Chains A and B, each alone.
Chain A
Amino acid sequence: MSTTLWKTTVASVGGDAGDMIDAGVLILFGDPVPQALADISVVHTDASTLTRPVRPGDSFEFAGAAYTVDEVGDHAMINLIDLGHIVLYVNQPDQKLLPGAIKVSGPVFGTPASGETISFSGA
């Protein structure tokens, strides 16, 4: 049985977020966020409290697909708790792990719609 660690709802998708997503990079920010960041991010709202840190092996659900968490950066959890901010890199195992990032593997990122749910679940 999987338990939900963190769950949130898409509020808006920035104008340039599509370009980032096409490049395999998904940037999440909790509302409110400065416009400059909102442009490239998927802004979400009403996030739940994180119940435990996300770790490799957990899963990530986004735009109707499931992903496996491979690596978690040192600052990723602090950003997530503090700002609802996290950056996900899909299928880029060769890229250096950045402190604020989580690397996942799975299908190519789709484009989310407002009102959709995004979540992390424990294995």
Chain B
Amino acid sequence: MGDNPVMRGISWFAEHFIGLFNESATQFAGLVTGILPLLMVMLTAMYAITTWIGEERVTRAIQWAGRWAVTRYTVMPFLAMLLLTNPMAYTFGRFLPERYKPAFYDSTVSFCHPITALFPHANAGEIFVWAGVSAGVMQAAPDKYATLAVLYFMVGLIVILIRGIATQWMTGVLIKRGGHEETFKRYDEAYAEGKIQGVAE
């Protein structure tokens, strides 16, 4: 019976059909046992901490951080992502003058993956950009995992500062080239008068 080519074909198919799913199941189990427990407790802690800190305090810190370019494209995106998470973090753009909004968005969105290395709750739905790469590092060199997480986060901060400044400059250039100078001057004046949308009091 074992020599029958049809039977051999069937058993070959059966073996590999199951084999394929067994391999997938092993991979899935690896992900679930490797990442999930850590993610679950970290998420719990981070959600609790953000509740304790409270939105009011953060809003004040955010407005303070928006004043200078150096903090506007580092501290502000970090706090926004940490407290409001992706995608609501971008709503903090409303505290800024119109001409800084694109740079703030660029800076903040660029931090939505580096931040997951230390604060996975900020963008739990897209955790695999970090978790995918870092799982390999965990396997090949477990001792370097923590350093990699911190470096990804730190380099992320430097990168978003550069992106923020570059995009702020580019926005300025495009405003001039496109002849929007007058419009944006009006926006700046409105901002100076304190007409920020969405701010109560």
Contact = CB atoms under 8 A, between A and B. Distances in A.
A36 B88 CA distance: 26
A78 B197 contact: no
A82 B197 CA distance: 19
B87 A74 contact: no
B91 interface: yes
A5 B91 CA distance: 20
A12 B87 CA distance: 27
Chain A interface helix/strand/loop/mixed: helix
B129 to A, nearest CB: 17
Contacts of A74: 197
Contacts, number: 4
Nearest to B88: A82
A97 B87 CA distance: 26
Chain A's interface size range is: under 10
A81 interface: yes
A81 B197 contact: no
Contacts of A82: 88
Interface string B65-108: 00000000000000000000001100100000000000000000
A78 B197 CA distance: 14
Nearest to A74: B197
A39 to B, nearest CB: 27
Interface in A69-92: 74, 78, 81-82
Of all A-B residue pairs in the complex, the 4 with the closest CB atoms, nearest first, are A81-B87, A78-B91, A82-B88, A74-B197
Interface of A: 74, 78, 81-82
4 contacts: A74-B197, A78-B91, A81-B87, A82-B88
